[in-house]
Amino acid sequence: MQFTYENPTLIEFGQGKINKITSFIPKEARVLVVYGGGSIKKNGVYDQVVTALKGHTCFEFSGVEPNPTKETLDKAIAYAKENQVDFVLAVGGGSVIDGCKYIINAFYYQGDGWDLLEGTFQPSKALPLGVVLTLAATGSESNTGSVITKRSTLEKRFFHSPFSYPQFAILDPDVLKSLDDRQLANGLIDAFVHTCEQYITTKHNALAQDYYAEGILRGLVELANSYKKRDDMWYANLMWLANQALNGLIGLGVPQDWATHFIGHELSGLYGIDHARTLAIIQPNLLRELLEERSEKLLQMGENVFKMSTKNPHDVIDKMETMYKELGVNLELSSYTQDRQINEKVTALLEKHGFTNFGYNGSVNKEIVEKVLNQSM
């Protein structure tokens, strides 16, 4: 087991913390405040941010999509350059934060920002980034990952940059109370599958990573079980569990999979399906196809997460699937698209993006993807 770990993001967690942003943004900064469709103006977050930034020179850019697009973000970069912005504040969930990571990394680049996603451009500097988190799901508030969609080609790609770590992130659980059931379920599922991608691989005896991952999964299962009885601690736990699921700790020095995500990204890019829902649709059927190689970890998960005594890994997959359904997710792809060419389109995009043999051991190929898609319809 070998790894290097650094996470420089400062986190302010708790109720009433949004006014803390003034402690982290220089008074002389020219701040670009980036947000999505305007929900922050209904739940009070916008007013709190504006009040906290009184005295700063601020500019606003809104309209970042749930699957943020290169086309929209390029407009944000042009606007930021026009106003000589030198600090970016993301006010939103993973989509807004991911979009801001594109903005800050492409800001000084003279070429096409999509080169970040193609891997042909590695930034040497970026604008500083801060976050006010409004949706718990992706952990993007304290990691380097970013997923961006190119509307013109329906591609959804990801990139990592060491400059993408936010300098700070404000996590106020009260903000989550304004979210609807769909958004909360998506966040819970997203965090659950993020953890699974780093856990359901092979036996490796990295005890801290396994036990920490199991603790996160158990916490998320408890939240799913108490989904209709949400209180202050429910929201606080979801916000922190989602952060811990993808801040880098549980994947240190161990095999990671991400096959569910790679397939899910293509489905979101092609059909606009919620990211978390693509994961819930694909993951159970993918695990069934990979049952022989994943059975040991599935049984470990059954015992340590779901408290099951089963010797059949199918039972553990069924348990996950039931949890997703009870959270209100329709697990049939046919309810989201009737495209009869879905297999051809998804596998073609995976091949274009370099995913011909993927998963933690390279065992996921075109044939398996097609089987999974067929089973998911």
- As a whole number, the mean pLDDT across the chain is 96
The mean per-residue pLDDT over the stretch 166-185 comes to 96
User: What is the model's pTM?
Assistant: 0.94
What is the longest distance spanned by two Cα atoms in the chain?
A: 63
C-alpha angle 337/341/342, rounded to 5°? Answer: 55
Q: What is the pLDDT of residue 356?
A: 95
Write the pLDDT tens digit of every residue in 218-260. Answer: 999 999 999 999 999 999 999 999 999 999 999 999 999 999 9
Determine the angle formed by the axes of helices 275-289 and 291-304, rounding to 10 degrees. Answer: 110
Min mean pLDDT across 103-107, 154-158, 341-345 is at 154-158
Domains and CATH numbers, the chain: 10-174 (3.40.50.1970), 180-376 (1.20.1090.10)
Contact call for residues 171 and 133 (beta carbons, < 8 A): yes
| Structure tokens that stand for 302 in this block | 């059954």
Query: Which residues, 6 or more positions from 45, have their beta carbon under 8 angstroms from its beta carbon?
Result: 18, 91, 132, 134, 175
d(CA 371, CA 348): 15
Using a 10 angstrom Cβ sphere, with 0-12 exposed, 13-18 middle and 19 or more buried, the burial of residue 306 is middle
Structure-token match 């953890």, residue found = 195
Residue 119 in this model has a pLDDT that exceeds 90 = yes
The mean per-residue pLDDT over the stretch 167-173 comes to 98
Contact call for residues 244 and 219 (beta carbons, < 8 A): no
